[in-house]
Amino acid sequence: MEGTHLQVLLPVGLIVSAFFMPVIFRWRRKLSEPVAIAASLLSLIFSWLIFLRVISSSEGTIQYFLGYSWSGLRYLPTGEPIGIVMRTDLLGAFMLIQISGLCFLATLYSKRYVPHLIPEEKIGFYYTLLLLFTAGMSGLSITGDFFNFYIFLELSGISSYALVAISTNKESTEAAFKYAVIGTMGSIFLLFGILLLYASTGTLNMFYAATQIDKIFAPDAPLYLTHFRYHIYAALGLLIAGFSIKSAFFPVHAWLADAHPAAPSPVSALLSGIFVKISGLFYLIRFLFTIFGAHKGYYGFFLPPFFIVVTILTAIGGSVFAIAQTNLKRMLAFSTIAQMGYILAGIALISKDGLTGSILHIFNHALMKGLLFLCAGAIIYKTGIRNISDLRGIGYKMPVTMGCFTIGALAMMGIPPLCGFMSKWYLLTASAKAGYPILIVVLLTSSLLAAIYYLRVVGIAFFVPPARHNNINKTNGGQIQEVEHRIEEAPISMLIPLICLTLAVIFMGIFVRIPLKVVSRAAEILLK
Amino acid sequence: METISYLPVIAVFFPLLAVFIVPVVEKMRKGTGNIFTALTCVVVFFAVLFMYPQISAGVKIICPVWQTGLGADFSLRVDELGFLAGLIGIILWTLSSIYAIEYMRKEHAQTRYNIFSLLSLFGLMGTFFTGNLLSLYICFEVLSIASYVLVIHEESPEAMSAGLLYLFMGIAGGLILLFSIIATYVITGTGELSLIGIGLKGEPLLPFIFWGFILGFGVKAGIFPVHIWLPSAHPIAPSPASALLSGVMIKAGAYGIIRTIYSIGGLEALLPGRVIMVGGLLILALISIFLGSAVAIAQMEIKRMLAYSSISQIGYVVLGAALMSPLGLTGGVVHIFNHAIIKGGLFLCAGAFIHQTGLRMIEDLKGIGKRMPITALCFTLGALSMIGFPPFNGFVSKWYLALGALEVSKTGSYGPLVGMICLGMLLLSSFMNLIYYGPVVYGAWFGEEEEKTSVATPEVSTAEYHNPGEKVKKDDPNLVMLIPMILLALGTVILGIFPHLPLELVRAFSHTFFPR
């Protein structure tokens, strides 16, 4: 179906508004936040319009042709599109609404959170980076060619390096440097992979490349084409390596555990909630299924065992490391790594059910992990506490925040009827159907470990009384009880995103039919 | 025959609705939250009661509630077993909530207690009234998580560690259960409890699935190898919650085990591997019966003794189910009903002792019968019923279990041996019950009241309700606490003399599996 101008307007508009942020900040200090919030709200509306257009189209895909020939010709006689094509399928549009929804909540949350963290004069640049980051991620989800893919990947990647470093303390600078080095290594793997793919298919359009790969692997392919098969194998290997780094699979996960906790909390929520998936797992799915056609049996039986080994390492390893953490945000970051293993489990099955479970879990994890990081941020904002053992009695002090955290943690552990359980159920049934009982054992073990580290936090927050000597108010020494139970909740602009996400965690669990309808159709389109 | 009715929906979801109202009510006027909780239970009780005409006519009540789209829907289905378990669950819950109005008056965090009590009630009712495995699992998990908060209500270090063990065993058990449920779904393609028995027939993985179910439910039931959380978690909770934990929540596990054997496994499906599956379960049940009674003898603290007694009694229920004979099944299911009444009453009496005098050690309770005659009388009736004297209701279920054991001894080559061992164990356990309940009852009525130096010895004390120096009241608790205890004590007698209500339904249930 014909695309809309919004597909171009969305990233471009975000980029333009990003560059106006410092100017607006200089002009009127007070205006910068409302403008940023308005820009992200506008992008949210645009994303929904795009999503509605995609879902109402019969084939579930819309294409927008950019810079095609003046004669109105859109395709070459070979069938290759001319110029740049913004091609958005249902999966991309589904990712897009997650991105812009979470970015909107994070921008709203940043209004109060950021001024206490970074120097006053940098706030304009913070919003520049945040909007650029959003623009890069939105572009990634709706683009249809390799060149734009790489541009948007670097745009979002570089702005995320800068966002991690923005608090300019030693820890975050070190983490950002590590993140930048490893992230760039991942990008280089991806670039080489794309180059090889371009060399062997001769096109930058992802969907035309897919038809070329079909030709190369066709049983009756001419000899000169079959030679390209080895190029394709090499490209696939390079791309898998690159996406493994980007999505922090186990042996190459170390950057995530440093970078995500070091960033400001709204940025952590974006990084863990959506960026690691849009730049890693989403494109792994996109390349494997849409372009390389892994479900068509071109690559023998090599892929599932490899992915399953990585899944086991990631799901178990991430959880085990998370148990050992003392810092709350670092624990959440390791939990993200474990969840990447979950999502990979569904991809490893190379079946419709598995893919449905994976995409559903991508969505649910964005809700849950976004919620948890924003809760951790609210705690840091109000009390400055970063260590789990210092959280004693915080549940009485900040009941709304910790209530939301508890629901997020229960969803993360997979307690029904919250949303985490639904995608876990889908992944488990899919792996049982595909005949990999080992995955069931691994995923259930990982859930048990998740219970251990999340319940520790919840238990400390609600049931361990705060240390007496810290809390005796000198002017009011006789009334310790009063001091302990005084409610000091985060400001309302930070609580709104928390409550929105909590409600989403509950409703997307109970009414899982709604996302599932979208997700299963998206998986069908991918496997076509 | 099946009919659609909204009564189960009210029974299951009304407590969930009330969860959101309790804090509002408590905020409007202090102290009304407890009363509101009790009223909610009464509403649920009537919703359950109104199902009786249809259930007794042999009609199953079904109601689809929520289409998840996961290939499994949330639907409710009430049959005789579910009705019976749900009925006793809500009776005990109502009485315990009424009791809690007075008992919890001085406690902290009452709103939290009420919220999680109602949430647990939702989980329990959902577990009993459900039609398929997905909804069973959802409700079962809600029950596990919500009842954790009841266990740790005191927030003392002992309560926290007991609660942690409870929670983690509950979650681990839940995950094992999930494994079996997923396997069942994938193999049979359905989760409807009435259909899966056929699908699993001849499945080579059946022993694993079966034991997954047994372990998952067994954690909650407290059968032998996975009972370790029970003796620390049950006594540490406030007494109304102890009564619920020991009276009905472990029955959710026992209910699951009975379902596993008779619906999920399916009798014919289980036959080839009978020794590995049901035989193993029978041995675990016998060990639970013996171990629970034997350790109970050594207990110094009354609530701990009652908790160990629960392990032994849940062994009876599982034994009845594992005998695979119609009379044994009848005895096991009736014991769910009877044990809930007896043990609920005993825990409420023990709570009354603690609430009024602060005494929780058995030796301190000497002469309590003179100070609190009505409470001690209720305790005595419950204890006699637990030992199995006729005409109390404990005797009825033991009678049927014994008949079931005799029935087994007539079949097969190993039948006589198994039957005789079971029969011997039933007699031995009754004798041991006499050994540990006897001294408490005897001491209460005929013991000399000594001057107490301390309220409780530190190593086993859990929480002090009264300061040692405080003047001890010398009378029974007020009517709000007395009435639930009296009703339960009368229940032990009445159901002993007229055991028809549960028995007819149970017979109808067992006839669906053992047609004449």
The pLDDT tens digits of the residues spanning A408-418 come to 999 999 888 89
Q: How many residues does chain A have?
A: 528
- SS3 sequence of A35-60: HHHHHHHHHHHHHHHHHHHHHHCCCC
**Pairwise CA distance, residues B18 & B41, whole Å:** 10
Partner residue opposite B186 with nearest CB, options A426, A433, A441: A433
Q: How far is A416 from chain B (nearest CA, A)?
A: 5
Choose, out of B12, B70, B122, B164, the residue to mutate when testing the contact with A (most A CBs < 10 Å). Answer: B70
**Pairwise CA distance, residues B161 & B229, whole Å:** 10
pLDDT of residue A417: 85
Flag whether B353 is in a domain.
yes
Q: Do B175 and A448 touch (CB under 8 A)?
A: yes
**Pairwise CA distance, residues B83 & B93, whole Å:** 15
Three-class SS state of B78: strand
CA–CA distances in Å: residue A23 to residues A32, A75, A129: 9, 42, 14
Q: Do B69 and A517 touch (CB under 8 A)?
A: yes
B247 in Cβ contact with B212 (< 8 Å): no
Partner residue opposite A513 with nearest CB, options B68, B160, B167: B68
Choose, out of B136, B164, B182, B203, the residue to mutate when testing the contact with A (most A CBs < 10 Å). Answer: B182
**Could you tell me the maximum CA-CA distance found in chain A, to the nearest angstrom?**
90
Partner residue opposite B70 with nearest CB, options A425, A440, A517: A425
Chain B CB contacts of A463 under 8 Å are 152, 155, 160
Among candidates A263, A14, A8, which has minimal Cα distance to A132? A14
Flag whether B257 is in a domain.
no
**Pairwise CA distance, residues A306 & A309, whole Å:** 5
| Structural domain boundaries, residue B304 | 291-451+472-516
How confident is the model over A255-269, as pLDDT tens digits?
Answer: 999 999 999 999 999
Q: How far is A395 from chain B (nearest CA, A)?
A: 13
Flag whether B179 is in a domain.
no
Chain A CB contacts of B137 under 8 Å are 416
Question: In A, residues 237-296, which contact B (CB 8 Å cutoff)?
Answer: none
How confident is the model over A41-97, as pLDDT tens digits?
Answer: 999 999 999 999 999 988 888 888 877 666 777 788 887 887 788 889 999 999 999
**Pairwise CA distance, residues B160 & B56, whole Å:** 44
A221 at interface of B, judged by CB pairs closer than 8 A: no
Flag whether B197 is in a domain.
no
Is the preceding peptide bond at B391 cis, omega within 30 degrees of 0?
yes
B224 in Cβ contact with B310 (< 8 Å): no
Flag whether B361 is in a domain.
yes
List the single residue in A with minimal CA-CA distance to B176: A444
List the single residue in B with minimal CA-CA distance to A518: B69
How confident is the model over A429-459, as pLDDT tens digits?
Answer: 999 888 888 899 999 999 999 999 999 899 8
Chain B CB contacts of A422 under 8 Å are 68, 70
Chain A CB contacts of B122 under 8 Å are none
A438 at interface of B, judged by CB pairs closer than 8 A: no
Among candidates A417, A396, A397, A392, which has minimal Cα distance to A407? A417
Q: How far is B350 from chain A (nearest CA, A)?
A: 26
Chain B CB contacts of A429 under 8 Å are 70-71, 182, 185-186
Beta strands in B239-284 (DSSP E): none
φ, ψ for residue B119, nearest 5 deg: -65, -40
Query: Could you say which DSSP state residue B278 is in?
Result: I
From first to last of the 516 residues of chain B, give the pLDDT tens digit.
788 888 889 999 999 999 999 889 888 888 788 899 999 999 999 999 999 888 888 888 888 887 777 777 788 889 888 999 999 999 999 999 999 988 888 788 888 889 999 999 999 999 999 888 888 999 999 999 999 999 988 888 888 889 989 999 999 999 999 999 888 888 888 777 777 776 777 777 888 888 999 999 999 999 988 989 999 999 999 999 999 999 999 999 999 999 888 887 767 767 666 777 888 888 999 999 999 999 999 998 999 999 999 999 999 999 998 888 888 889 999 999 899 999 999 999 999 988 888 888 888 888 888 888 888 999 999 999 999 888 888 899 999 999 999 888 887 777 888 889 999 999 999 999 999 999 888 888 888 766 555 454 443 344 444 444 444 445 678 888 889 999 999 999 998 898 888 888 888 888 887 776
**Pairwise CA distance, residues B135 & A416, whole Å:** 9
Flag whether B367 is in a domain.
yes
Among candidates B25, B29, B12, B27, which has minimal Cα distance to B118? B12
Dihedral of the CA atoms B21, B26, B32, B33 (nearest 10)? 60
Query: Could you say which DSSP state residue B132 is in?
Result: B
**Pairwise CA distance, residues A497 & A95, whole Å:** 19
CB atoms closer than 10 angstroms to residue A198: 15
Chain B CB contacts of A416 under 8 Å are 137-138, 141-142
A429 at interface of B, judged by CB pairs closer than 8 A: yes
Chain A CB contacts of B160 under 8 Å are 459, 463-464
Q: Do B70 and A417 touch (CB under 8 A)?
A: no
Choose, out of A429, A447, A457, the residue to mutate when testing the contact with B (most B CBs < 10 Å). Answer: A429
**Pairwise CA distance, residues A195 & A204, whole Å:** 9
Place A184 in a pLDDT band, splitting at 50, 70 and 90: very high
**Interfacial residues of B (vs A; Cβ cutoff 8 Å):** 66-71, 134, 137-138, 141-142, 145, 152, 155, 160, 164, 167-168, 171-172, 175-176, 178-179, 182-183, 185-186
- pTM value? 0.89
Of residues A465 and B363, more confidently modeled: B363
Partner residue opposite A448 with nearest CB, options B152, B171, B185: B171
Q: How far is A317 from chain B (nearest CA, A)?
A: 19
A430 in Cβ contact with A346 (< 8 Å): yes
**Pairwise CA distance, residues B88 & B92, whole Å:** 6
A184 at interface of B, judged by CB pairs closer than 8 A: no
Mark B113-148 as b/e (b = at least 16 C-beta within 10 Å): bbbbbbbbbbbbbbbbbbbbbbbbbbbbbbbbbbbb
How confident is the model over A210-238, as pLDDT tens digits?
Answer: 999 998 998 888 888 888 888 999 999 99
Flag whether B422 is in a domain.
yes
What's the order of all strands across the beta sheet hosting B60-66?
B2-4, B60-66, B74-78
**Pairwise CA distance, residues A341 & A339, whole Å:** 5
What does the pLDDT average to over A402-425? Answer: 91
Question: In A, residues 507-526, which contact B (CB 8 Å cutoff)?
Answer: 510, 512-513, 516-517
Partner residue opposite B171 with nearest CB, options A416, A451, A463: A451
The vertex-B356 CA angle with B355 and B359, nearest 5°, equals 75
Q: Do A425 and B182 touch (CB under 8 A)?
A: yes
**Pairwise CA distance, residues B483 & B470, whole Å:** 26
pLDDT of residue B452: 54
Q: How far is A338 from chain B (nearest CA, A)?
A: 17
Chain B CB contacts of A432 under 8 Å are 182-183, 185-186
List the single residue in A with minimal CA-CA distance to B165: A452
Flag whether B23 is in a domain.
no
pLDDT of residue A475: 47
Number of domains in chain B: 1
Partner residue opposite A513 with nearest CB, options B69, B138, B142: B69
